[in-house]
Amino acid sequence: MDALRPWFALKGVPGVGNLLFRRLVEHFGSPDAVLAADETELMAVQGVNARLAAAIRHCRPSDDIDRELKAVQHKGYDLVTLTDRRYPALLRQIPDPPPVLYIYGELPDSPLNIAVVGSRNATGYGLATTRRLCLDLAARKVTIVSGMARGVDTAAHSGAIAGGGKTVAVLGTGLDRIYPRENRSLFHRIAENGAVISELSLDSGPDAHHFPARNRIISGMCHGTVVVEATGRSGSLITARLAAEQNREVFAVPGNVHSFKSVGTHSLIKQGAKLAAHAGDVLEEFAHIRPPDRLMFSPAQPKLPALTNEEAEVMGILEAEPVHIDDLARQLAMAAGRLSGLLLQLELKGAVVQHPGKRFSLAPGIDPKQLK
């Protein structure tokens, strides 16, 4: 951990942002060398004036840094620096990569990373489509990257795990501040099937300015970004714009033409984003990295989640077509309140999709015959 102290010391100097940090390390070779340089040498780097050079020259690791490093070690997290071979290669190519990444889990070594983002208040269609898309991609060794937010992000990670693949969550908080709180279980599941990462100190909260900055990491570590359900002012459009600026591919899933939640995705398609109706539309753009297969004719089968006896009973009467909760309650002879709770748990497990009007169906890809 001692070798990491100069990274944190330099990162903490006011005026040294990610772009300048990169320039300094590229010029001097390491943060140790930067901190050892004299002011004249420092001012030879673009963006460093006399005042900033003096601040860097007199910078020293603090007790706060030591406490942070000890906490990281105690909690079993990892730290990966910009010059570490484990640092995501694509992310290193963007203009302002994070100098240090906090890691919970293990970063997958995947030939193809795809970001999938979208509305926090997604429709049943958006959630089901996201899960199906990510399940198929993950089953074909594509790593799914998202932000662990409510809605589409949660469906993306869950779909990747159901497909037996790898997924990475990029947080807009520190690793000790799981947000949203209801994703605590998902937080640990992602770490078991990939990694949760952040550039922020452990106790950093969900401040508004953290999330646009987080988005550059999501797009930056991926070959392409898929947007599912986005309003005209959605934060997901920021991720799409960053992906385009980083010279990465942008995809959009078409939605209901009458829904305001599809305005953003349809706008992206008009601007040149590739329409993504299924995983094959994404894979064919990266044939030079990962040759596509007969995906349209052989959809991946999801891993069925572990179910309680009551959950299995509910799943046993569900179909691919939506059924109203009152009809389900009558068939099961179960109180509506109890049934509602079970359906919620099944939704969180990615086994059930809720549709407008309190109607429920099996999640895409789950064969009813497997449950009978």
Domain regions of the chain by residue span: 1-64, 113-297, 309-370
CB 194 within 8 A of CB 170: no
Quick: pLDDT tens for 155-206. 999 999 999 999 999 999 999 999 999 999 999 999 999 999 999 999 999 9
The reported pLDDT for the residue numbered 365 is 65
The total of other beta-carbon atoms located within 10 Å of residue 255's CB is 24
The reported pLDDT for the residue numbered 296 is 43
Superfamily name with CATH number, domain 1-64: 5' to 3' exonuclease, C-terminal subdomain (1.10.150.20)
Q: Which two tokens stand for residue 101?
A: 């990444």
CATH T-level topology, domain 113-297: Rossmann fold (3.40.50)
CATH T-level topology, domain 309-370: Arc Repressor Mutant, subunit A (1.10.10)
**Angstrom distance (rounded) from CA 13 to CA 35:** 11
First to last CA, the chain: 54
**Angstrom distance (rounded) from CA 120 to CA 108:** 26
**Angstrom distance (rounded) from CA 135 to CA 145:** 13
Using DSSP's 3-state secondary structure scheme, residue 177 falls into coil
Quick: pLDDT tens for 16-57. 999 999 999 999 999 999 999 999 999 999 999 999 999 999
Q: Judge whether residue 227 has pLDDT over 60.
A: yes
**Angstrom distance (rounded) from CA 117 to CA 132:** 14
Q: Which two tokens stand for residue 278?
A: 């299924």
The reported pLDDT for the residue numbered 232 is 86
Q: pTM to 2 decimals?
A: 0.82
